[in-house]
Each structure stands twice: as structure tokens, then as C-alpha cells.
Structure 1
Amino acid sequence: MPDLLASLIPGVSPGGFGVLLAATILGGLVRGFTGFGFAMVFMPLASIVLGPVAALALIWFIDLPFALPIAARNAKQAEWREVLPLLATATLALPLGLWLLLWLDRETMRWILAGLILTAVALMASGWRYHGRPGMPLSLGVGALSGLFSGMASIGGMPLAVFWLSAQRNDRHKTRANMQTFFGVSTVISGTILWYKGILTLAALMMALPLFAAYGLALWAGTHGFRLASETTFRRIAYAVIFASALVSLPLWDGFVGR
């Protein structure tokens, strides 16, 4: 089995694979529980092992078989008047995010990634809420940020989480339906662009194979946990896991742990 893993994930140590596996399980639990957050957990941790570009491709392959059927199940509950404008501007901004990902060096991207995630979690956990119905300019702006962050680090769900969770107009079921639908459609769109840019490779697909089962089980467990948890618990657990992942990934600790 170790030989098989070595062939699928060349150049990654057993400890590195352990980090990828833990990130996959934690990210799957959060994704199933909240409807978002896989990349917000997985990307900062996987970037330590693989770097941001390879981690971005790995996220796409791991989530693809699950994102599409989940989106199909949630599409009828989604508020399409909110989803479509976000999708439009996210698609336009995604290439700019990819350009930044490829242009910036690995360590700088790790600092930016962790900083963005920590800021978003702090904002959501602070109790700040947007009151009223968001207008079209705000929706388009959030969509553009989502596309930018999706291209940079596959964390396009982060602005949406702040937008929909903070607005407090929809209950958590409507929020999850919006997010799941958005992710399903945007996965197809982003995959096309990532393939064109040469980021989605056969090597990335092979690397994703050992992680599919762990992600699927964690996603299932998170979904069942969502059905049992209260609204307050739902938010607190998601924020805590995302915050911890971003904090651990900071390059600040590299000297202490020998990274």
C-alpha cells in the first residue's frame, strides 16, 4: 500500500499525506455540515505540502464527483435571483484570480490565503449582520470577489459565506441550498478555465484518488450532523475548524516545525 501511495502522490512524505488526509476529512465534515468551507479548510493545509497551484487542482478533483449531484438536489430550493448574478461576475473575475495565483510566489500566497480566511472567520463570528435585501451592485461585487478568490485559492465560498450567513434573511436550509447550487455550477465553469490554463492534470487526478473515500465519508457525516445541530452549533463548529486550519497554515510557524 505505501508503494501504491508513493506512485499516486510522488514526492509527498507519509507525514505530508497524513496532513492531506486530515485536511480532506476536516474539510469534508465542514462542507457537509455547513454547505461550504472545504477549500477554506483544505487549501491552507494542503498548500503547506504541495504549494497553492497543486492544491487548487487537487481540491477541484476531490470535490467534483460530490458537488454536481449535491447541487442538483439543492437547485429547486435555491434562490436563483441571488445565485445567477453572483455566478456571472464570479466567472468574469476568476481568470484574474488565476493570474495572481501563478504570478505570486508560494510563500506570499500562503500569507494572503491565511489572512483572507482569518479575516472572513473573524467577520462572521463577530456577530455583524447585514440587514435588508442586498441590491444588485452588492450582489455583483460579492460575485466578483468570489471569482477572484476562487481563482487564487479555490476559496470562492468565503465571500458567499459572509454575504449569505451575515445577511440573516434566509434560514440555514436556504443558505445551504444557495451555496450548494452555486458551487455545482461554478465547479463546471472553473474546471473549464483551469483545464485551459493547464492546472488540471492527470497527476492531480491520480493524487486525488486516495482521498475520494475519506472525503465522501466525511461529507456524509457532516450532512447528518447538520440535521441534528442547532443554528448556533452549526456556525460555531464551522468557524472554529476553519479558523484553526488557517492559523496552523501560517508561514510564521515554519521555522518552529521545520517546514
Structure 2
Amino acid sequence: MPDLSFLPAGMPSIGAMGPAIAIIGLSAVFRGFTGFGFAIIAVPLLSLALPPLLAVALAAGLQLLGGLMDLPQASRSCHWPSVRWLLAGALLASPLGTLLLAWLPADWARLALAAACGAAVLALASGFGFRHIPGRAATAGAGVLSGLFNGLAAMPGPPALAYYLALPLAPAQVRASLIAFFAFSAMASTASLTVIGAIGWRELLLVLAGLPLMIGGSRLGAALFRRAGGAHRGISLATLALVALLTAARGLSGLIGGP
């Protein structure tokens, strides 16, 4: 056996890193295509191979670095007024979501989130959309929902995605705005994880090791978007529906005493 004593204590085994590499690559490709979805895919799947808190820390760190690298290009076409007010509402409401989580049983919270996601999917699939860009109050309200989702289940994405899919914006502008929103959201989540000690030297090494996969997968996804940008809305809606189904299944499983 090779001498691995130079690695920090608690590093994942070689057997666990194989699936983790594949998951990070797949999630990065999806993120590059849609502008969102890295954590939605990566965290549940990484949790099957790694400790859950490590999976969250790894996904948050990679999303932060990937977002910072993509932000300069995304900033050229993203819709900054909506990004700013969405972030303001999310940052304001995220602590409230955490307080609600302490009061509301986790499984009931998951069912509530699943219902909200499902309602958004049905509305958007039926053709609902804004004729004009909503005002600051409505945009901040969507941000508040993102913050509540973040505090309740570490998932700020579904409300932000539903909001942007309803806007009269081109797919490229929607994608760029989501990249910018999640880049700034990742800053807040990574800072919180660092404060509570969930991100240290071990996690930083793993994030840096996974960064080439994040970059390569995101570039491949971006190339696929340029070839098939028209599929962006359908894939995004399907992902939102899948999130609703999986969240509901997890909540129901907990309520009926499942694993």
C-alpha cells in the first residue's frame, strides 16, 4: 500500500473519491449549461459517498470558486437590477428561514418547499410569465423566498430559478443572471460554513483538487448551451420538478418513519 500519511487526517478514502470525481464533473456540466444546479445535484449525490457536512462544504467551495471565475463574463449580460434586489431579499430572509427550521419540523418544511416548487412548475409550464420586469418590491419578494428556502433546506435556487424563467429575458441573460446570483449566494454560504468550522484545511484541499473538474465541466456545459440554448427552459423546468418530487419524497419518508 502506498504511504498516504502526508494527507490530513480525515481525508476521504480512495474508494469514495472515485464516485465524488464523477459527481463533481456531472454537476459542473449541468451548471455550465443552465447557470444553476451544481449544489442541487452535487450535494445529495456526494452525500452518498462522503459525510453530509463535507459534501455541503465541498459543493459550496466549488460553487464559490466556479462562480468567481465565471462572474466577469456573466456580468456582461446578466440583468443586474434583478440580481441586486433578489440578493437583498435573500440575505434578509435567510436567517428567518433558519429560525423557522428550528420551529417547524424538518419533514413538514420539506413538504412545504416541495409544494411551492410544484406550484411554480405548474404555473410556468402553463405559460405564466411576466410581460414586463417586475419592480423592486416583487423582485425582493422573490429573494425573500430564496432566503427562506436557503434557511429551511440550504436550497436558495428554486425560487430564483422560477423567478427568472418567468421574466421576459433571453435564455443567455437568464443563465448569466443565475450565475451571478449563485456566485454571491455562495460567498455567504461559504462564509457561514467557515465560521462554524465546516471548512478548514482538509476541505480547502479537496475544493482545490476538484477545481479543474469544476472548470472543465462548466466549460463543456457552456459549449453545449451555445449549441442548444433553446433547450434551457425545458431542462430547467424538469430540474425544478425533480427537486420538488425528491424533496416531497424525503419529507413523506420522514413522516411515515422511513429511512
Q: When the two structures are superposed, what TM-score results if normalisation uses the length of structure 1?
A: 0.75
Write the distance in 1 (CA, Å) between the matches of 2:115 and 2:200.
27
Name 1:184's counterpart in structure 2. 183
Name 1:219's counterpart in structure 2. 218
Name 1:256's counterpart in structure 2. none
Write the distance in 2 (CA, Å) between the matches of 1:129 and 1:9.
52
Distance of aligned partners of 1:94 and 1:248 in 2 relative to their CA distance in 1, 3 Å threshold: closer
Q: How many residues align?
A: 252
Equivalent positions of 1:4-153 (< 5 A) are: 7=7, 10=10, 12=12, 16-50=16-50, 52-98=52-98, 108=107, 115=114, 119=118, 122-123=121-122, 126-133=125-132, 134-153=134-153
After superposition, give the CA deviation of every residue in 1:18-69 in whole Å (9 maximum; x if it has no partner).
Answer: 4433331221111100111111111222233445533322112112222113
After superposition, give the CA deviation of every residue in 1:91-118 in whole Å (9 maximum; x if it has no partner).
Answer: 122234456778999x959966994797
Write the distance in 1 (CA, Å) between the matches of 2:112 and 2:11.
24
Shift of 1:227: 0.4
Name whichever of 48-57 and 141-150 sits farther off.
Answer: 48-57
If you compute each CA radius of gyration, which structure gives the higher value, 1 or 2? 2
Write the distance in 2 (CA, Å) between the matches of 1:138 and 1:63.
27
Q: When the two structures are superposed, what TM-score results if normalisation uses the length of structure 2?
A: 0.75
* CA root-mean-square deviation: 4.0
Write the distance in 2 (CA, Å) between the matches of 1:12 and 1:131.
47
Name 2:194's counterpart in structure 1. 195
Write the distance in 1 (CA, Å) between the matches of 2:223 and 2:210.
20
Shift of 1:220: 0.8
Correspondence for 2:232 among 223, 231, 234: 234
User: Residues 165 and 233 of structure 2 are in contact (CA less than 8 Å); yes or no, is this contact kept in structure 1?
Assistant: no
Code of the aligned partner of 1:44: P
Write the distance in 1 (CA, Å) between the matches of 2:227 and 2:210.
26
User: Residues 146 and 158 of structure 1 are in contact (CA less than 8 Å); yes or no, is this contact kept in structure 2?
Assistant: yes
User: Residues 90 and 146 of structure 2 are in contact (CA less than 8 Å); yes or no, is this contact kept in structure 1?
Assistant: yes
User: Residues 41 and 245 of structure 1 are in contact (CA less than 8 Å); yes or no, is this contact kept in structure 2?
Assistant: no
User: Residues 36 and 179 of structure 1 are in contact (CA less than 8 Å); yes or no, is this contact kept in structure 2?
Assistant: yes
User: Residues 29 and 218 of structure 1 are in contact (CA less than 8 Å); yes or no, is this contact kept in structure 2?
Assistant: yes
User: Residues 37 and 242 of structure 1 are in contact (CA less than 8 Å); yes or no, is this contact kept in structure 2?
Assistant: no
Equivalent positions of 1:153-164 (< 5 A) are: 153-164=153-164
Write the distance in 2 (CA, Å) between the matches of 1:5 and 1:116.
48
Q: Where does structure 2 lack aligned partners over 5 or more consecutive residues?
A: 254-258
Write the distance in 1 (CA, Å) between the matches of 2:6 and 2:52.
20
Code of the aligned partner of 2:155: I
Write the distance in 2 (CA, Å) between the matches of 1:242 and 1:212.
26
Distance of aligned partners of 1:149 and 1:118 in 2 relative to their CA distance in 1, 3 Å threshold: closer
Shift of 1:197: 3.3
User: Residues 64 and 190 of structure 2 are in contact (CA less than 8 Å); yes or no, is this contact kept in structure 1?
Assistant: no
Name the SS for the 2:218 alignment partner.
helix
Write the distance in 2 (CA, Å) between the matches of 1:102 and 1:14.
37
Shift of 1:10: 3.6
User: Residues 124 and 165 of structure 2 are in contact (CA less than 8 Å); yes or no, is this contact kept in structure 1?
Assistant: no
Write the distance in 2 (CA, Å) between the matches of 1:77 and 1:18.
36
Distance of aligned partners of 1:119 and 1:4 in 2 relative to their CA distance in 1, 3 Å threshold: farther
Name 2:256's counterpart in structure 1. none
Write the distance in 2 (CA, Å) between the matches of 1:215 and 1:243.
25
Write the distance in 1 (CA, Å) between the matches of 2:19 and 2:110.
19
Code of the aligned partner of 2:27: G
Distance of aligned partners of 1:147 and 1:198 in 2 relative to their CA distance in 1, 3 Å threshold: farther
